[in-house]
Structure 1
């Protein structure tokens, strides 16, 4: 199956930064994306990258609301890859079964309201990668073993985003229905995929966050991965687990 993303996508200026902090620019190419055809999904593979996430979420007797953890990322950013792989995913694997954590991804970029497009730091391919990852989240919001596994898989060789085979392999590995994923990403009905990204980018802007990867707990920035370094934190799973547990205990 072959489809085209029909939205104008703005490319960020060719300013090479060591980290993934958004800068300003304009350019409007279009991107063609080829999906798979006739591939059969196999059960999610979780053991190597997301131990524990295959467990069902348990209901707590206390009925306390879970702690809101948010990761602000870009799909083609090496800092986001490290942050998801080394920090966020291990924390989710440890805390998911407890029911005290609710994780969401937010993507950093600049909405271009003049043409309903987007500006992404690493170009139009990143915009499409962001859309695909947001679609996986929207489709499998209650199954982090799927959407977070997919995001982690995409990040491991982020240079390949959004090559058809690479995206479909990650979808296949984590039980993502690729037909649904590409329909979401390319839908012309209310520009669903692009609007997901534009809404997500506005959320990051409203919170004053422009660095990928930034992790917040109940709205408070607790850890940043920038230019290959951890800032404001040690980057250890134990520290973030403690932050989440402390926030939960004090709700």
Structure 2
């Protein structure tokens, strides 16, 4: 992305971990430029291509939350193989809402952030949060974008990859860029800092963790499903059970 270069502290070398449990590499408040020269990975969320319409219900919808990191292979698998198929199946029943929360460590000394897979991940997290903030009521857009980004997470946050994923799902690359670069309240870095605090408050540090009405129901860690089978049917049943018992 096209942001001004300015490091406030020395960065540790970015190390790729298999297990995406928070253990972060630092990103200061001002981010830096990355060239965009890569191709789009073609397969990403075909089940959500059409707009989805939530129906009115007599009960509040079940709140499903995914705790993730943008450059984490476990998050990629979790979104692609579990969350996206569930949303495609039951979103338009009106019984479910979904939000992404990003795992990291806020540094309040200079309003910066630390992310496990380095500064590029912090910027990827911000871009995905911006997609969510701009299109909360259209998960076929923001969840499709997140899935597309994750399919080739090694290229996050290169301009070409971000731009192609945005174009694939009807998002404006320019709007995402403005949101990510903005220092206005609740934009850019502050979106990520707030999101990371939410994960910390809930005691969640593993990407990907899925909760239903605040209860952890499934974890994808180190290529393994934990506490669940990872099947779409089981998560649909969890959501339906939570809705029926509200």
Scaled by the length of structure 2, the TM-score of the pair is 0.89
For the pair 1:201 / 2:196, whether they are aligned, the reply is: yes
Runs (5+) with no aligned partner, structure 2: 37-41
- Deviation at 1:12? 6.5
For the pair 1:145 / 2:140, whether they are aligned, the reply is: yes
Kept in 2: contact 1:33–1:162 (CA 8 A): no
Instruction: Indicate the residue corresponding to 2:32 in structure 1.
Output: 32
Kept in 2: contact 1:73–1:211 (CA 8 A): yes
Instruction: Indicate the residue corresponding to 1:3 in structure 2.
Output: 3
Kept in 2: contact 1:50–1:93 (CA 8 A): no
Q: Which residue among 84, 100, 104 is the counterpart of 2:99? A: 104
- Deviation at 1:85? 0.2
Instruction: Indicate the residue corresponding to 1:21 in structure 2.
Output: 21
The more displaced of 7-16 and 156-165 is 7-16
Distance 2:94 2:12 in 1: 39
For the pair 1:92 / 2:53, whether they are aligned, the reply is: no
Written as runs of structure 1 = structure 2, the 5 A alignment for 1:72-221 is 72-190=67-185, 192-221=187-216
Instruction: Indicate the residue corresponding to 1:57 in structure 2.
Output: 53
Kept in 1: contact 2:104–2:196 (CA 8 A): yes
- Deviation at 1:33? 3.3
Q: Secondary structure at the match of 1:235?
A: coil
- Structure 1 residues 212, 48: CA separation in 2 closer, same or farther (over 3 Å shift)? closer
- Deviation at 1:80? 0.2
- Structure 1 residues 84, 136: CA separation in 2 closer, same or farther (over 3 Å shift)? same
Q: Secondary structure at the match of 2:220?
A: strand
Kept in 1: contact 2:26–2:119 (CA 8 A): no
Q: Secondary structure at the match of 2:47?
A: coil
Scaled by the length of structure 1, the TM-score of the pair is 0.87
Distance 1:179 1:63 in 2: 39
Partner deviation per Cα, 1:95-149 (whole Å, 9 max, x = no partner): 1110100000000000000010000000000000000000000000000000000
- Deviation at 1:181? 0.8
Q: Secondary structure at the match of 2:143?
A: helix
Kept in 1: contact 2:48–2:144 (CA 8 A): no
Distance 2:24 2:155 in 1: 24
Runs (5+) with no aligned partner, structure 1: 37-45
Distance 1:109 1:153 in 2: 21
Instruction: Indicate the residue corresponding to 1:39 in structure 2.
Output: none
- Structure 1 residues 57, 22: CA separation in 2 closer, same or farther (over 3 Å shift)? same
Distance 1:64 1:133 in 2: 29
- Structure 1 residues 84, 5: CA separation in 2 closer, same or farther (over 3 Å shift)? farther
Q: What is the Cα-based RMSD across aligned positions, in Å?
A: 2.6
